[in-house]
């Protein structure tokens, strides 16, 4: 073994120095370090050498490998610097070539509709509130007049967060009413600064342990509404809902109220809207010309009382808009599961 590291590396060093591109470097790397390359050749010769020369040759092979790797890394840096320098000097830049078109994202339809409704409601004097997705059983049920053994709990298959059932994934945005009353209305009344009517919306994600299908999803969106003032009546409620529908559909929409039961409102209603898509009945309105759109009602005195508001003095109305449903109606989406699927083929249509 007479060859020095220098004599082995020199021809490779020259090749690296002459490299003009990353491709050149990759080729040199392959031809020297991979199978059949200079390093491998050295190693392959070891068994034929006299035992005394073997260790030195092994050491040489390792040194050669290190030298090649270091040389390649240095050359790579040199090429990158040169590219930057060239660009700075305007070399190799063709101003007539079309640029790379950046891919732009768009708003998710749920976000678009939520923002639109937030604009609409803030223009009517509502504040937009937020609440946690993990909610106490107390806020999600008890203070809303749904005590522990109330049958209304069965309708809301609840994801529980702890063994004692103190916390749940909120099953609706109605705890937003409780928080608004406790955190906004009561302190203002106490401080003597309450300026009725208080109006708030609470858009957000809600969760139910459901078997999913085209019209059921375990995670969906609602928007709660709450108005508190003096002598609030069903008339106020209907007026607000008609304004909402005019904003959403861009024209006057006929509505009707049917009685509906929800423990936190009295009286409670289901508000139906005349189907905006047909006159004689279609698949969206299931041939009835009416679409069940939003449950609502006058806030139950127990809820006001539970939250510290005197129902003898104050009254209010509330509604629970199914945001996911509204988005589906608006865009003609026939499967709720698409909304949160993250499927780009779906999302790119908006």
Q: Which of these, 344, 333, 341, lies nearest to 113 by C-alpha position? A: 333
Binding region for ligand DAH (CB under 6 A) out of 8-16, 76-84, 245-253, 290-298: 290-298
Residue 327 structure tokens? 């988005």
Q: Is 297 in the site for ligand DAH (CB under 6 A)?
A: yes
Minimum CB–partner distance for residue 297 and ligand DAH (Å)? 4
Query: Does 172 participate in binding ligand DAH (rule CB under 6 A)?
Result: yes
Given 189, 304, 318, 339, the residue binding ligand DAH (CB under 6 A) = 318
Interface with ligand DAH, residue 207, by CB under 6 A: no
Of positions 121, 194, 314, 319, contacts ligand DAH by CB under 6 A: 319
Q: Rule CB under 6 A: is residue 320 a binding residue for ligand DAH?
A: yes
4 φ, ψ (degrees, to nearest 5): -90, 165
265-274 β-sheet, strand order: 127-128, 198-207, 219-229, 315-322, 290-299, 265-274, 255-259
Query: Which listed residue (145, 174, 306, 324) binds ligand DAH by CB under 6 A?
Result: 174
Residue of 295, 300, 323, 338 that binds ligand DAH (CB under 6 A) = 295
Q: Which is nearer to ligand DAH, 197 or 295 (CB)?
A: 295
Give the residue with the Cβ less far from ligand DAH, 60 or 179: 179
Q: Which residues contact 208 (CB under 8 A, 6 or more apart)?
A: 156, 157, 158, 159, 171, 218, 220
Residues 274, 213 contacting (CB under 8 angstroms): no
Coil, helix or strand at residue 173? coil
Contacting ligand DAH within 246-285 (CB under 6 A) = 262, 265, 268
Contact residues for 206 (Cβ-Cβ < 8 A; gap 6+): 169, 170, 171, 172, 173, 219, 220, 221, 222
| Least spacing, CB of residue 318 vs ligand DAH, in Å | 4
Query: Which three-class secondary structure state does DSSP give residue 73?
Result: helix
Which spans of this chain sit near ligand DAH (rule: CB under 6 A)? 172, 174, 224, 262, 265, 268, 295-297, 318-320
């Amino acid at each position: 073994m007479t060859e020095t590291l220098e004599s082995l590396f020199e021809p490779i060093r020259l090749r690296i120095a002459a490299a003009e591109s990353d491709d050149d470097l990759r080729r040199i790397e392959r031809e020297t370090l991979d199978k059949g390359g200079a390093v491998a050749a050295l190693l392959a010769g070891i068994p034929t050498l006299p035992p005394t020369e073997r260790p030195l040759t092994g050491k040489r092979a390792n040194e050669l490998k290190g030298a090649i790797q270091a040389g390649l890394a240095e050359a790579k840096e040199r090429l990158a610097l040169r590219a930057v320098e060239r660009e700075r000097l305007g070399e190799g830049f063709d101003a007539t070539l079309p640029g790379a078109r950046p891919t732009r994202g768009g708003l998710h339809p749920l976000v678009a509709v939520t923002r639109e409704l937030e604009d609409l409601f803030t223009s009517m004097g509502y504040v937009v509130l937020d609440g946690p997705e993990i909610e106490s059983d107390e806020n999600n049920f008890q203070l809303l007049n749904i005590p522990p053994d109330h049958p209304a709990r069965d309708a809301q298959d609840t994801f529980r967060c702890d063994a004692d059932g103190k916390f749940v994934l909120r099953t609706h945005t109605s705890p937003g009413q409780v928080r608004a009353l406790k955190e906004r209305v009561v302190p203002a009344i106490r401080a003597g600064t309450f300026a009725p009517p208080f109006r708030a919306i609470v858009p957000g994600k809600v969760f139910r342990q459901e078997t999913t299908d085209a019209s059921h999803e375990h995670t969906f969106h609602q928007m709660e509404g709450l108005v508190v003032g003096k002598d609030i009546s069903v008339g106020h409620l209907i007026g607000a809902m008609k304004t909402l529908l005019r904003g959403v559909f861009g024209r006057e929409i006929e509505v009707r109220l049917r009685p509906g039961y929800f423990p936190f409102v009295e009286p409670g209603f289901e508000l139906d809207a005349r189907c905006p898509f047909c006159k004689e009945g279609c698949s969206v309105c299931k041939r009835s010309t009416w679409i069940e759109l939003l449950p609502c009602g006058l806030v139950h005195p127990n809820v006001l009382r539970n939250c510290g508001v005197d129902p003898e003095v104050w009254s209010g109305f509330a509604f629970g808009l199914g945001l996911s449903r509204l988005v589906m109606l608006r865009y003609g989406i026939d499967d709720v599961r698409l909304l949160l699927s993250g499927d780009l083929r779906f999302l790119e249509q908006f």
